[in-house]
Amino acid sequence: MERIIFHVDVNNAFLSWTAVYLLNNGYQEDIRQIPSIIGGDEKERKGIVLAKSPVAKKMGVVTAEPIFQAKKKCPNLKIFKPNMEWYKEKSTEFKKYLQTYSPIVEQFSIDECFIDMTGTHYLYKDYIEVANKIKNEIKNNFGYTVNIGIANNKLCAKMASDFEKPNKVHTLFKDEIVSKLWPMDVKDLFMVGKKTSQELHKMNINTIEELAHANPKKLSAVFKSQANYLKDAAWGIDDSEVSEEKRHKSNSISTTDTLPHDTEDIEKLKERLLFQTERVCRELREKNKYATTVAVIFKNNNFTSYSAQAKLSNPTSDSKLIYKKVLTIFENNYKKDPIRLIGVRLADLVEIKNEQISLFDSNEDNYDESSIQKTIDQINKKFGNDLIISASLKAIERHETLK
- In the complex with DNA, the residue whose CB is nearer, 120 or 210, is 210
Binding residues for DNA, total number by CB under 7 A:
53
Tell me which amino acid residue 150 is. Answer: I
Question: What DSSP string describes 353-383?
Answer: ------SSS-SGGG---HHHHHHHHHHHHHH
Among 22, 23, 110, 389, binds DNA (CB under 7 A): 110
Among 11, 12, 106, 112, binds DNA (CB under 7 A): 112
Do residues 343 and 276 touch, judged by C-beta distance below 8 A?
Answer: yes
Counting beta carbons within 10 angstroms of the beta carbon of residue 81, is it exposed (0 to 12), middle (13 to 18) or buried (19 or more)? exposed
- In the complex with DNA, the residue whose CB is nearer, 119 or 260, is 260
Binding mask 33-72 for DNA (x = CB under 7 A): -------x-xx-xxxx-x------------xx-x-x----
- In the complex with DNA, the residue whose CB is nearer, 252 or 362, is 252
Among 24, 100, 109, 288, binds DNA (CB under 7 A): 109
| Pair type for strands 112-116 and 5-10 | antiparallel
Which 360-399 residues touch DNA, going by CB under 7 A? none
Q: Which stretch binds DNA (CB under 7 A): 113-121, 141-149, 253-261, 316-324?
A: 253-261
Q: Where are the alpha helices (DSSP H) in 152-265?
A: 154-161, 194-202, 208-212, 216-223, 226-234, 244-248
Do residues 197 and 191 touch, judged by C-beta distance below 8 A?
Answer: no
Residue 125 per-residue DSSP state: S
Distance separating alpha carbons of residues 255 and 282, to the nearest angstrom: 12
Output the smallest distance, CB 386 to DNA, in A: 14
Binding mask 289-328 for DNA (x = CB under 7 A): ----x-x-------x-xxxxxxx-----------------
Q: Which residues are catalytic?
A: 112
Residue 119 per-residue DSSP state: T
- In the complex with DNA, the residue whose CB is nearer, 248 or 381, is 248
Output the smallest distance, CB 248 to DNA, in A: 9
Counting beta carbons within 10 angstroms of the beta carbon of residue 304, is it exposed (0 to 12), middle (13 to 18) or buried (19 or more)? exposed
Phi, psi of 194 (to 5 degrees): -60, -55
Among 125, 224, 382, 403, binds DNA (CB under 7 A): 224
- In the complex with DNA, the residue whose CB is nearer, 46 or 133, is 46
Which 115-174 residues touch DNA, going by CB under 7 A? none
How many beta carbons lie within 10 A of that of residue 209, not counting itself? Answer: 17
- In the complex with DNA, the residue whose CB is nearer, 68 or 367, is 68
Q: Applying CB under 7 A, does 253 fall inside the site for DNA? A: yes
Among 62, 123, 128, 191, binds DNA (CB under 7 A): 191
- In the complex with DNA, the residue whose CB is nearer, 99 or 256, is 256
Q: For the chain, how far is it from start to end, CA to CA, in angstroms? A: 67
Output the smallest distance, CB 238 to DNA, in A: 14
Beta bridge partners of 310: 294
Among 60, 119, 193, 216, binds DNA (CB under 7 A): 193
Helix axes 84-98, 13-24, angle to 10 degrees: 100
Binding mask 256-295 for DNA (x = CB under 7 A): xxx------------------------x---------x-x
Distance separating alpha carbons of residues 119 and 256, to the nearest angstrom: 43
Distance separating alpha carbons of residues 137 and 214, to the nearest angstrom: 43
Residues that bind DNA (CB under 7 A): 13, 40, 42-43, 45-48, 50, 63-64, 66, 68, 108-112, 190-197, 224-226, 249-258, 283, 293, 295, 303, 305-311, 333, 341, 343
